[in-house]
Structure 1
Amino acid sequence: MGSSLKLLYHCFFRYVAIIMNCDVSILYQAAYFSRLV
């Protein structure tokens, strides 16, 4: 469980890094979504 969760976070942060280069507003949406989870 712990290892899969680490992989999930790794993929999420890579996705966020890509989004940051494209559109910062989407980053705010991701932050809002992470607060819901």
Structure 2
Amino acid sequence: MHWGNHNHLRITRILKSLCLLGLKKYTQSLFKCLTEIYNLEI
């Protein structure tokens, strides 16, 4: 994923929204999952 592209911005907004809604556990789980997927594609 390239920083600043449309999908990165969308995912960033989702993660921020989850945090603002008090869903930190879900934020961390989603971020971990996305990081693992990203690392598989490198």
Q: TM-score, normalised by structure 1?
A: 0.72
Distance 1:34 1:28 in 2: 10
Judging by fraction of residues, say which structure has more helix: 1
Percent identity, please.
3
Q: Provide the aligned length of Structure 1 versus Structure 2.
A: 34
- Structure 1 unaligned segments of length 5 or more: list them: none
Q: TM-score, normalised by structure 2?
A: 0.66
State how 1:10-25 maps to structure 2 within 5 Å: 10-22=9-21, 23-25=23-25
Between the two structures, name the one with larger relative contact order (CA 8 Å, sep ≥ 6).
2
